[in-house]
Amino acid sequence: MKKRNLFTVALTCVIGMTALAACGPSSGGSVTKPPETDPDSWNSLESGKTVQITLAGRDVDTERANYLQFVNDFNATHDNIVVTLEWWTDGTAYNIALDGMGKNLPDVFMLNNIMFTSFAASGKLANIRPYVDESILDDMYVNGYEVYYFDHETKTCGITEDAGMYGLPKDQGPVALAYNEDKLRDYVARYNSTASDADKIDIDRVMSVSEPMTFDYFLEIGKKLKTVLGQDEYVCSGYDMQSVIYSNNANYFTDDTARNQAIDTENFAQAIEFVQNMYKEGILPAAGTVSSGGETVFSSGRSLFYFSATGPWKTKDYWQTCDFTWNIAPVPVGMAEGAVSTAYIGGMCYAISNNCPYKDAALELVKYLSTDITSQRTQYKRGQCIPNLISLAQEYATDQYDFIAMQTGKDDPCPTNRSVWIDVVDGVGGTKTDANGNEYTDKVTGRYRAESFTLDATWLNSLNQFMGGTTGSFGSFWEPKADGTWVNVREALAAYAPELQVALEENYDRLHRM
């Protein structure tokens, strides 16, 4: 009897384990090679039958409303494809859901840059390179799509002969320095009214779209404007660390393989010191004083500047929440040699599951959302993104009317300097040729977020925690120590560099052993 009971328990265990194992991701080809794909799945529309595909995405409700409209527009113009939208309002929950799906992903889904490498390397995404015409790409910014190529041999993102293309840009996510134009004009005038001529702030220089402010100039005007601020007001309520680092010709790694750290360089230290100086001078709110977040402070009109995640996707929300005129300028540039104003770019792409049985239909949807001129026009008018198409850039930059969902009571939809976002995506940070064939120096450009080059962002979170003083023995870079002194940035970064090096190598090894 005992033996029989034991057998029953063992049998139940085996059945249970098998059942659970079967619940996991279905088996597929080797992940060390480019993914194999079912050729028939690229011809599903030829039968003439109507196919149903799913589009999965995430973000706030205003974005969901936009995508419902885009999907309806697509369904109305495509007789044989029916798209259903699956939406997550919580980005973390969405990413976790994608992680847990294994290969059984939605037919088309939004995928952020940080997860792109791991998904592409593991063969979960369909290679669309053979099906995307060069003519389409000719009308797109290289900066906007090059990161969605992935070479399975070298395990790196970027355009190479052997690389597959695993996504088209949802948005190109350029960020910029946002400012409250009403308040800035008012406060500059207030300051200038009592300042000597030599001390006056040049408002045109602050708001210039072609000549970015330098770190030093930004600090200088910050100190001046601080003297005329009202209660609970700040000069700048947030900053984007990566844009600061990039704009001083520095980076976290020595090259795009992201294998060797570069945080112990002079340029990197100077960039971090700039941020530290903003805290020292009270230009940024003291650590911990703004619990509602820098963006809320800006959108409620309590700060003059905000350069964090102020990308085009914010416009639809700012139209609703900001009761003032706001605008954008290039992010400040550092003093290092070769430094160019460089904001981070990239955000999300539309990817197709390699398991999708209707890849041709899925690609139709992706092309519609990412490259169709009508769709792109609707998207920018809804404050969703800047156009992915070069041919729409001029129209976008100068469009004076007919913005859907625009804030009421304004003559021109903010930001009027929206060409800055185009400049960031279109920038090369060097010599460029204009439409007339004249060469000029490009002073504004963009670069992908650092996490886009690594398998995950653990290393970056650890570095940020170290600089924030929650780990390590140096304390926070952003507030004075008990004795009133501040952390020596160079010493601290040099001390942390070996740890970051190990983390990056581990990240690299994990990617390359797949």
Partner 1 sequence: MTESIRTEETIAPVPVKNKDKKRSTLKRRENWTALAFISIKYVGLIIFTLIPVLFALLYSFTDYYARMETEPFITRIDDLWCGFDNYVQLFTHITYGTAFKNAVVNNLIFLCSVPIGILLGLIVAIILSHDDIIRGSRIFRMLIYVPVVSSAVAMSIIWRYIFDNEYGIINQLTGWDIPWLTDNGWIKVAIIIKSSWGSIGRTMILCLAALTSVGRDYYEAAELDGAGEVTKFLKIAVPLISPTLFYLFCTGFIGNLQAYTDAQVFANGHVGAQTIVYYVWNYGINRSLYGVAASASFVLAIAIMLITLLQFKISDKWVYSE
The CB-of-476 to partner 1 minimum distance in angstroms stands at 9
Residue 508 sits in the site that holds partner 1 (CB under 8 A): no
Rounded (5°) CA angle 461-462-465 = 85
Instruction: Specify the stretch interacting with partner 1 by CB under 8 A; choose among 5-13, 212-220, 265-273, 327-335.
Output: 5-13
Report the nearest approach of partner 1 to the CB of residue 306 (Å): 17
Does residue 470 belong to the site contacting partner 1 (CB under 8 A)?
yes
- List of residues 6+ apart from 78 with CB closer than 8 A: 364, 368
Indicate the pairing of strand 108-112 with strand 348-352. Answer: antiparallel
Taking CB under 8 A as the rule, does residue 119 contact partner 1? yes
Least gap, CB of 118 to partner 1 (angstroms):
5
Site for partner 1 in 21-50 (CB under 8 A): 21-22, 24-28, 31
- Nearest of 493, 443, 449 to residue 339 by alpha carbon: 443
Query: Which of 20, 76, 435, 482 is in the footprint of partner 1 by CB under 8 A?
Result: 20
Residue span binding partner 1 (CB under 8 A) among the ranges 119-127, 129-137, 316-324, 441-449? 119-127
How far is 346 from 6, CA to CA, in rounded Å?
A: 57
String marking each residue 210-249 x if it binds partner 1 according to CB under 8 A:
----------------------------------------
* Closest C-alpha to 450, from 284, 277, 312, 268: 268
The three-point CA angle 258-259-262 to 5° equals 75
**String of b and e for 388-404 (b: at least 16 CB within 10 Å)?**
bbeebbeebbebeeebb
Residue type, 151: D
Q: Kindly state the smallest distance separating residue 285's Cβ from partner 1, in Å.
A: 10
512: contact with partner 1 by CB under 8 A: no
Amino acid at 241: M
Among 34, 123, 174, 212, binds partner 1 (CB under 8 A): 123
Determine, following the binding rule CB under 8 A, whether residue 6 of this chain makes contact with partner 1.
Answer: no
Size of the site for partner 1 (CB under 8 A): 50
471 binds partner 1 (CB under 8 A): yes
CB of 122 vs partner 1, minimal distance in Å: 4
509 contributes a contact to partner 1 by CB under 8 A: no
Structure tokens of 497?
Answer: 């560099």
Closest to partner 1 by CB, 96 vs 373, is 96
Taking CB under 8 A as the criterion, which residues in 269-288 touch partner 1? Answer: 287-288
DSSP 8-state class, residue 123? T
Sequence-separated (6 or more) residues with CB below 8 Å from residue 152: 32, 33, 34, 121, 162, 164
**Helices vs strands, H then E, count in the chain:** 19, 16
Residue 176 binds partner 1 (CB under 8 A): no
Residue 6 or residue 287: which is nearer to partner 1 going by CB? 287
CB atoms closer than 10 angstroms to residue 9: 10
Residue labelled with tokens 């976790």: 96
154 binds partner 1 (CB under 8 A): no
Cβ proximity to partner 1: between 110 and 455 the closer is 455
Q: Which of the stretches 136-144, 324-332, 363-371, 450-458 binds partner 1 when contact is defined by CB under 8 A?
A: 450-458
Window of 118-126, 340-348, 357-365, 373-381 that interacts with partner 1 by CB under 8 A:
118-126
DSSP class of 490: H
Q: Which of 6, 12, 40, 255 binds partner 1 (CB under 8 A)?
A: 12
Among 412, 458, 481, 491, binds partner 1 (CB under 8 A): 458
305 contacts: CB under 8 Å, gap ≥ 6: 177, 178, 179, 180, 184, 235, 236, 237, 298
- Per the CB < 8 A criterion, the answer to whether 144 and 169 are in contact is yes
Q: What is the residue-wise DSSP string for 70-127?
A: HHHHHHHH-TTEEEEEEEES-HHHHHHHHHHTTT---SEEEEEHHHHHHHHHTT-B--
The Cα–Cα gap between 110 and 507 comes to: 24
Work out which of 62, 69, 75, 118 binds partner 1, going by CB under 8 A: 118
Taking the complex as a whole, how short is the minimal distance between the CB of residue 486 and partner 1, in angstroms? 17
State which of positions 290-309 bind partner 1 (CB under 8 A).
290-292
| Contact by Cβ (8 Å): 340, 442 | yes
| Cβ count within 10 A of residue 472 | 17
> How many angstroms separate the CA atoms of 98 and 83, rounded?
19
- Would strands 326-329 and 341-345 be described as parallel, antiparallel, or unpaired? unpaired
CA dihedral in degrees (198, 203, 206, 211; nearest 10)? -90
Does residue 89 touch partner 1 according to CB under 8 A?
A: no
C-beta closer to partner 1: residue 16 or 338: 16
User: Applying CB under 8 A, does 469 fall inside the site for partner 1?
Assistant: yes
Decide: is 11 part of the binding site for partner 1 (CB under 8 A).
Answer: no
17 touching partner 1, by CB under 8 A? yes
Residues that bind partner 1 (CB under 8 A): 9, 12-13, 16-17, 19-22, 24-28, 31, 92, 95-96, 99-100, 102-103, 115, 118-119, 121-124, 287-292, 455-456, 458-459, 462, 465, 468-471, 499, 502-503, 510, 514
